[in-house]
Structure 1
């Protein structure tokens, strides 16, 4: 039997590949991991389109209950669905490694990821530096700013993923992230950003109602982006084509 790790894309129930859909419909058990990102549709929509019952697994069920999940995959065809790509979070790499270590066969089917969807901004993907995250609690937190400073020094773009807790309905907003950067600049003073620095705020990338705005930090600090998930991008050194595409999102 096999554990199928399946990336289902960034938006709705129809975003997974045809091959992945065939795999889901043929599986004995179907789970969706519900804590590293947020589903843009309800589980009912997944079940209706897939024609299968889908059970949501929280962090404890996936991480603490991994042995049980792998044991089940020894006996049945188990599909574990992941929003975005199945390796968008360290958790899923751990699942693969542990399954291989225990001799459980794993099949991987990739999906669209935030790491490539940011290309819609016009920023060249190979010019992105280290990705970082901004947590809910930022008091005394310097890592996101330090990553930004390092990327900035190399002329690279910085993708900042914003903290989320779908179980409790909490999502760090673009405005909160922008305010963190302004506060971090005051605290650490590396000259990386200013209130007039133009950055990119994004919401629901990959969905029909996605939002992309290119504006000064001071503007994004008070902007509304609608429903989550969100990310913030601080551009590095820009090529003229990147500038032209970014200008389409200015405002």
Structure 2
């Protein structure tokens, strides 16, 4: 038997009766420490509680899983984790392997810091978009940046989990994460985030020293958030009840506001440049070849494609709009290459 047991966000202090009973009866307990920091005091409490041997399980041991699965074939084994056991994909993969090996599995679910902090911050659960992890390496933030963009376009909130490496006791500081996000904006230039973007930093959720601070990124980047763990939330479209709750539930350094209201779709950013430029280039072509009847079909089709691009954009069909303006540019470029002209230079 292999149990997957969640301790919740308060450790043994908030553990259910079922959790205590399972730990007391287990022949072997593996306590994983790579998804959340665990204090020595908490480990000591659990060691006194469990009946069998307690093993602190690093990431490699759970990912490899061979020792855990082999023992579970004959003994009553527990994989213990903070929060809910299935927030970590590694645990899901281990359970899949256990079931494939005909090892019976059972689960005790519990609150996760990731899900708990949403309510603690005063946000609506159904408005959370795709979560993403911020790593310390700056190049990796392009994925984070576009996840925030996609969530914000939908009006959803972005949950940003900060890197935690138990083996080196490394926690990514929220200030470094924010600085890297702002630096990423300089490279991407899609106007997704800036100093005025409103965000929430939730620290040590579920502990006695829990702290939630909100404000503009320009303010938060100068703020000391204390000891980890921390999570950043960049809200999208705020309901008025969320707006009010943030002001009450957090130390609010700046007035909350709707980040989604200023977001412009990347396709619209492109079209706002491409359509006027293509129309200007086509006007130059018409001036040059207004008397050349052989080019009338090419000019007419280019004009129709530009008109289609504007129509599709108004209808919210951005993909078709970009495709249409691409066809128009292709026809104009064909004239440029075949006739040795450069209408683009004149249209700038």
CA distance in 1, matches of 2:158, 2:9: 20
CA distance in 1, matches of 2:201, 2:113: 13
Q: Please identify which structure carries the higher helix content.
A: 2
1:9 aligned partner = 8
Cα distance, 1:229 vs structure 2: 1.1
CA distance in 2, matches of 1:82, 1:140: 27
- Which whole-Å deviations, capped at 9, do the CAs of 1:45-80 have from their partners, x for residues lacking one? 22235566522011111112x122111001110011
- Which whole-Å deviations, capped at 9, do the CAs of 1:193-234 have from their partners, x for residues lacking one? 110111000111111211101111112212222221111000
CA distance in 1, matches of 2:243, 2:48: 43
1:142 aligned partner = 142
SS in 1 for 2:105: strand
CA distance in 2, matches of 1:136, 1:84: 24
- Which whole-Å deviations, capped at 9, do the CAs of 1:166-204 have from their partners, x for residues lacking one? 221100011111112211211112222110111000111
1:43–1:54 contact (8 Å) kept in structure 2:
no
1:11–1:204 contact (8 Å) kept in structure 2:
no
Aligned pairs (5 A) from 1:1-251:
2-40=1-39, 41-50=41-50, 53-64=53-64, 66-118=65-117, 119-139=119-139, 141-248=141-248, 249=250, 250-251=252-253
SS in 1 for 2:31: strand
2:7–2:84 contact (8 Å) kept in structure 1:
yes
2:27–2:51 contact (8 Å) kept in structure 1:
no
Larger deviation, residues 171-180 vs 236-245 = 171-180
- Which whole-Å deviations, capped at 9, do the CAs of 1:104-149 have from their partners, x for residues lacking one? 1110111111232121101101000000000121235310111000
CA distance in 2, matches of 1:179, 1:212: 19
CA distance in 1, matches of 2:198, 2:61: 41
CA distance in 2, matches of 1:222, 1:89: 31
Matched residues, number = 249
1:7–1:111 contact (8 Å) kept in structure 2:
yes
2:343 aligned partner = none
Q: Please identify which structure carries the higher strand content.
A: 1
Aligned-residue Cα RMSD (Å) equals 1.5
1:12–1:39 contact (8 Å) kept in structure 2:
no
Report which of the two structures shows the higher radius of gyration computed on alpha carbons: 2
TM-score (norm 2): 0.69
CA distance in 2, matches of 1:144, 1:51: 43
The 3 A distance-change label for structure 1 pair 140 and 8 is closer
- Return the structure number with greater relative CO, CA threshold 8 A, min gap 6: 1
CA distance in 2, matches of 1:51, 1:201: 39
